[in-house]
Amino acid sequence: MHELTWGLPVILYLFLGGLGAGAGAVSASVLLRSGGGDQAGLGFKIARCGALIAPIPVILGTGLIVLELGTFQAGNWFRFINLFKVINLSPMSIGSWVLGLFIMVSLVYAYTFLKADPHPGDDRHQLRKLSAWAMVILGVGVALYTGILLGAMPARPFWNSPILAMLFLVSALSTGVAVILLGRSVFGKHVDKEGKTTSDAYLLASSDMLLIGFEILVIFLFIMYSHLTIGSVKVAMGVILGGELTTLFWFGFVFLGLLLPILIELKYVIPTLLFQKQYEIPRSMEVLVSVLVLIGGFLLRYVVVIAGQITGSIGI
Amino acid sequence: MSESKQQVSRRDFIKKMATGSAAVATTTVSSVALPAEKNKRYAMVIDTRRCVGCQACSVACKTENDVPLGETRNWVEYIEKGEFPNVRRSFLPRLCNHCEDPQCVSVCPTGATYKRKEDGIVVVDSDVCIGCKYCIQACPYGMRFINPKTGTADKCDFCLHRVEKGLVPSCVNTCQGRARIFGDLNDPQSEVSQLVATNATTVLRPEMGTGPMVFYIDADHTDERDAEKQGIYVRIDTHRRQQKRV
Ligand code: SF4
Ligand code: SF4
Ligand code: SF4
């Protein structure tokens, strides 16, 4: 058994960073899709919710990662500043800069919505649109980098796959959608007396479904290619194909985090999708689906980070 | 131009390229120009046939570099295999490979870890390192650890403080069987160059593409998986806190 160099803080950071980046990117792209940000209405409301959520998990995760630094633990609290004295081709270096930029831009973006009655055309509108463009790019950047960070090392065969970053990106976007869905479901005023959500969550639910579908595909490719190769990668993949993390991966992540939510969503989305019925979903179901997706997102990071560290190259 | 002469001149040329700037100077004004300081490429040859597994190097390294308890810059693995009377026990001394293409360097976000141009030694600048542990993940040999006192990454540095003064590393100095030989691979007269040229040497995990600069003679690369395949008994003792090879 290998030692865990990166523990829970890193796992939480990868999850929260992806979550916030996903929420930010989704919010900004929904905003920009509503007539380039100029239309009031549903898109604007969704964007507002995502914009207000996005910075929180990212800042929280970044705070956690600082706790994991050896120098911080040794009492040298501000040594991490050194990250911002240089930039080189290390994924962590580029990632830290992108992350730093993301945090700043996401705060600006959130600020543009933080007023009594934000609406297209108000005094912060230009700033909002401008930061939204940056949010899409930076959000995707942060989400991708969390995967590239792990994928860059031949010494860690479980992680050393180009598709890992893709997997993390899709998972980040889907957890981002889920957290917006959850936020709207819990705090939203669009719920009628019987506790049913009216049609405006359809856009989110159906995109969430699509993203989970993609995630299942990417997971399939990730496992298939690793399994079809030989040597260290195949041995490493063994930890989720019969090894110690099998149950957590298949039951926790794949079943609870992907299959169950996509099936529940299908049940409610299909009538609207195929028969143009009014979209209706009980609030409890909406909460359940979002929470499941979030749990799945966390378990994915958990399993991947642990699996990568308890496996290594074979032979000497 | 004859075949051999052509080869000589090409080698000369490559050599001059390697020394860099002096390529022109040496041909035209060689009598006046001082010989350019040639970069060194330090390497170690470990002749496992001469190693008796006494761990003197591990102890010497620990004292010389004040390595904290529980951490190791140097260790000697014991590899036992076979069933009496067909048995073998061999020793595999381990230290940082000072790789030609070190992964620890390419992932370091602060530039704290770097390979010195003048001698090829891979070092950690503990005033710059933030202790992010990325290099620990990236080293295919499990050579790195976080020094609990400083919180920064630490590993074998070929005893830079000694080598700079013209001394050999502490582990080399102490090795009673002369199993460890340290020197400059850029100097064809050095003992390491001669040993590498005249022996079958191997490096650890060559498939990682790191280009290790620690060369082993007669190393036993057996691991537990080989045991299964070959149907023999194999036992590996790492003699460090991490009881399995990382
Ligand atoms: S052995 Fe590891 S720590 Fe040493 S230079 Fe190579 S990659 Fe870096
Ligand atoms: S722990 Fe230090 S030396 Fe290692 S990658 Fe991080 S900053 Fe660089
Ligand atoms: S060269 Fe120095 S630091 Fe490296 S293993 Fe030998 S004694 Fe330890």
Using an 8 Å CB-CB cutoff, list chain B residues near A80: 130
> What is the pTM for the complete model shown?
0.90
**Which residues of chain B fall below pLDDT 50?**
1-30
| A152 domain-assigned | yes
The structural domain count of chain A equals: 1
Q: From the CA of A86, how far away is ligand 3's center (Å)?
A: 30
Cβ proximity of A312 and A155 under 8 Å: yes
| CATH number of the domain to which A132 belongs | 1.20.1630.10
- CA of B152 vs chain A CAs: smallest distance (Å): 6
In this structure, which topology does domain B42-100+158-237 adopt according to CATH? Answer: Alpha-Beta Plaits (3.30.70)
State how far the Cα of A267 lies from the Cα of B41, in Å rounded to an integer. Answer: 66
Say yes or no: ipTM exceeds 0.90. yes
Q: Which ligand does the CA of B135 lie closest to?
A: 2
Q: Which residue, judged by its Cα, is nearest atom 2 of ligand 2?
A: B129
| A135 domain-assigned | yes
* Cα angle A304-A90-B38, degrees, rounded to a multiple of 5: 135
| A3 domain-assigned | no
Q: Which residue, judged by its Cα, is nearest atom 4 of ligand 2?
A: B135
Residues sharing a CB contact under 8 Å with residue A197, sequence separation 6 or more, in sequence order:
A185, A188, A190, A191, A279, A280, A281, A282, A283, A286
> Which pLDDT score, from 0 to 100, does residue A201 have?
80
> Which pLDDT score, from 0 to 100, does residue A187 have?
83
| A196 domain-assigned | yes
User: Is a pLDDT exceeding 60 seen at residue A193?
Assistant: no
> Which pLDDT score, from 0 to 100, does residue A295 have?
98
Q: Torsions phi, psi of B82, nearest 5? A: 90, 175
- State whether residue B34 is helix, strand or coil: coil
The pLDDT tens digits of the residues spanning B26-85 come to: 444 445 556 667 899 999 999 999 999 999 999 999 999 999 999 999 999 999 999 999
- What mean pLDDT value characterizes chain A? 92
Mean pLDDT (whole number) for A268-291: 90
Please judge whether A71 and B131 are an interchain contact, meaning their C-beta atoms are less than 8 angstroms apart.
yes
- For residue A199, what pLDDT band results from cuts at 50, 70 and 90? low
Range of the domain at A180: 8-310
Q: Distance of CA A152 to CAs A2, A148, A244, B78, B196, Å?
A: 19, 6, 24, 32, 32
Residues of A with CB under 8 A from a CB of B: 1-3, 5-6, 68-76, 79-80, 82-83, 85-86, 88-93, 96, 149, 152-156, 308-309, 312-316
> Which pLDDT score, from 0 to 100, does residue A116 have?
86
- State whether residue B148 is helix, strand or coil: coil
Q: From the CA of A7, how far away is ligand 2's center (Å)?
A: 17
Residue B44: strand pairing partners: B182, B214
Upper half-sphere CA count for residue A305 (Cβ side, 13 Å): 22
Using an 8 Å CB-CB cutoff, list chain B residues near A64: none
Q: Which residue, judged by its Cα, is nearest atom 1 of ligand 3?
A: B158
- State whether residue B135 is helix, strand or coil: helix
Q: Where are the domains of chain B?
A: 1-36, 42-100+158-237
> Which pLDDT score, from 0 to 100, does residue A84 have?
95
Q: Which residue, judged by its Cα, is nearest atom 7 of ligand 2?
A: B129
| A2 domain-assigned | no
Handedness of CA B57, B63, B67, B71 (dihedral sign): positive
For chain B, what is the total number of helices (H) and then of strands (E)?
Answer: 9, 11
State whether the beta carbon of B74 lies less than 6 angstroms from ligand 3. Answer: yes
Please judge whether B208 and A154 are an interchain contact, meaning their C-beta atoms are less than 8 angstroms apart.
yes
| A112 domain-assigned | yes
State how far the Cα of B62 lies from the Cα of B75, in Å rounded to an integer. Answer: 10
Nearest to B204 by CA among B74, B51, B92: B92
| A1 domain-assigned | no
Handedness of CA A18, A225, B206, A315 (dihedral sign): positive
**Among B58, B66, B73, which is best to mutate for testing ligand 3, by the most ligand atoms less than 8 A from CB?**
B73
Which CB contacts under 8 angstroms, 24+ apart, belong to A223-229? Answer: A225/A161, A225/A163, A226/A158, A226/A161
